Amino acid sequence: MSFSLFIARRIYSGKEVGKQVSKPAVRIATLGIAIGLMVMIVSVAVVIGFKDEIRSKVIGFGSHIQISNFDSSLSYETRPVVTSDSIIKVISSIPGVKHVQRYSTKPGMIKTDDAFQGMVLKGVGQEFDPTFFRQHLIEGEIPAFSDSSSTNAVVISKSLANKLRLKLGDKIYTYYIQNEVRARRLTIKGIYQTNFSEYDNLFLLTDIRTVNHLNQWEPEQTTGLEIQVNNYDELDQVASRINRHVDKEVDKYGGVYYVQTVKQLNPSVFAWLSLLDMNVWVILILMLGVAGFTMISGLLIIILERTNMIGILKALGAKNFSIREIFLYFSVFLIGKGMLWGNVVGLLFCFIQSKFQIFKLNPETYYIDHVPVEFNIWLFLLINAGTFIASVLMLVGPSYLISKIHPAKSIQFE
């Protein structure tokens, strides 16, 4: 064990002869590190959890990548493209693609005896992946949709059901305007709730044959394809591969294929989510600054209290560098203790919130009814490493105060 480390451990343990380190200074420095690290861990966990929750809901309604008609307008009254089995097979074989499914949309209106509501009827086929809607299903079931027959079954959101005073099993009348007004009676088989009002107030889920019949399309025509990828981080790369196969290609009816990612389809939502990253950086910098300056104040107090000891060590031949090492080692012990408590409290809060959802949110404002948290071990390790390195580096400058202390004067200092 080195001389500097030995002295630092003796000071930290408080077993050396003479006066002890100022306990308030040590406690304040340790508390500053603990609170700073705790806030950083909680902030990152909450922001990552919130972003993933919102992103998963947007993707759940529209998938990672969509292929539609280039001539379609921004409304849900779309023009069709051919989505035959051969095209689906080609897309499915592209590396990174997890699942491919057809979909069709038709805007319309629900009318009851005393109310009406605009909506979009979304049709899906037998290859539809119901995982997202099953996760948010609160009543009934997700029917086994087919493209060979019209089931007249529909899944609606809880917010629409509440607005129109509908319940499971009710029959609803829907109306669609094209060349003429067309009506279709559907039966509610399931009710879902995602708290994402932008979509909950819009989409009804039914079979693709019903929607295609309302649009008067050919059996092989649909609004387009929804594509899920294996890894969201590779979204742009997978989209680029799909582009090389189908983008701007023309089907036999003249429809032009157009590939768009979920980020391109929902730019405002993803721009909003990207702003959260800036908030996290501001919090991290502020908390790191608070923790660092608390440690600097504590170190200066400790150095001033140990002026007599510093003078004696210099008189015995110790160099400034060795004495600075003593106080830096001592600071490392304090930083480590503070980080330990910061990790314990921060991770404990995240665990309790993820299991019991104690802290709630207004879903009409935040699109989710509780504060979400997500554990990311690599980010937590990076935060710990960054906090430790930054805190130690911030103490190097103040430790130069030791070189200004003169042995003759400091030995007499009490």
**What does the pLDDT read at residue 247?**
78
Residue 298 is assigned to a structural domain of this protein: yes
Domain boundary among 225, 255, 285: 255
Q: What share of the chain is helix, strand, coil (3-state, %, to 5)?
A: 55, 20, 25
**What does the pLDDT read at residue 28?**
83
Instruction: Tell whether 161 and 286 lie within a shared domain.
Output: no
Instruction: Tell whether 153 and 23 lie within a shared domain.
Output: no
Q: Could you read off the pLDDT tens digit of each residue along the chain, which spans 414 residues?
A: 577 888 888 777 765 444 455 677 778 888 888 999 999 999 999 999 999 999 999 999 989 999 999 886 556 778 899 999 899 999 999 999 999 999 999 999 998 888 889 999 999 999 999 999 999 999 999 998 888 788 889 999 999 999 999 999 999 999 998 778 889 999 999 999 999 888 999 999 999 999 999 998 988 999 999 999 999 999 999 999 999 988 778 888 888 999 999 999 999 889 988 888 888 888 888 888 888 888 888 888 777 777 777 788 877 788 888 888 888 888 888 899 999 999 999 999 999 999 999 999 888 888 888 999 998 899 999 999 999 998 888 888 887 777 777 766 666 555
Instruction: Tell whether 109 and 238 lie within a shared domain.
Output: yes
- DSSP 8-state symbol, 153: E
pTM: 0.82
**What does the pLDDT read at residue 397?**
82
Cβ neighbours of 187 (radius 10 Å): 15
Instruction: Tell whether 95 and 151 lie within a shared domain.
Output: yes
Instruction: Tell whether 157 and 209 lie within a shared domain.
Output: yes
Instruction: Tell whether 47 and 142 lie within a shared domain.
Output: no
Instruction: Tell whether 51 and 176 lie within a shared domain.
Output: no
* 8 A C-beta contact, residue 358 and residue 352: yes
Please report where in the chains the tokens 């997978």 appear, as a residue.
Answer: 238
Of 49, 57, 77, 76, the C-alpha closest to 198 is 57
How many domains does the chain contain in total? Answer: 2
Residue 261 is assigned to a structural domain of this protein: no
Residues in a beta bridge with 163: none
Instruction: Tell whether 112 and 155 lie within a shared domain.
Output: yes
Q: Which domain holds residue 403?
A: 3-57+269-411
Domain boundary among 227, 255, 283: 255
Q: Cβ contacts of residue 47 below 8 Å, gap of 6+?
A: 276, 277, 279, 280
Distance of alpha carbon 91 from alpha carbon 19, whole angstroms: 75
Q: At what angle do helices 320-356 and 3-13 cross, to 10 degrees?
A: 50
Residue 292 is assigned to a structural domain of this protein: yes
Distance of alpha carbon 370 from alpha carbon 356, whole angstroms: 10
Distance of alpha carbon 163 from alpha carbon 158, whole angstroms: 9
Instruction: Tell whether 149 and 249 lie within a shared domain.
Output: yes
Q: Residue 270 has which token pair?
A: 């993803």
The 3-state DSSP class for residue 107 equals strand
Domain boundary among 255, 285, 320: 255
**What does the pLDDT read at residue 73?**
56
Instruction: Tell whether 34 and 129 lie within a shared domain.
Output: no
Residue 62 is assigned to a structural domain of this protein: no
One-letter amino acid for residue 229 of the chain: V
**What does the pLDDT read at residue 410?**
61
Residue 355 is assigned to a structural domain of this protein: yes
Instruction: Tell whether 140 and 274 lie within a shared domain.
Output: no
Residue 28 is assigned to a structural domain of this protein: yes
Q: Residue 235 has which token pair?
A: 């979204």
Quickly list H helices, 136-265. 158-164, 197-200, 208-215, 235-246, 262-265
Instruction: Tell whether 156 and 45 lie within a shared domain.
Output: no
Residue 66 is assigned to a structural domain of this protein: no
Residue 222 is assigned to a structural domain of this protein: yes
* 8 A C-beta contact, residue 69 and residue 255: yes
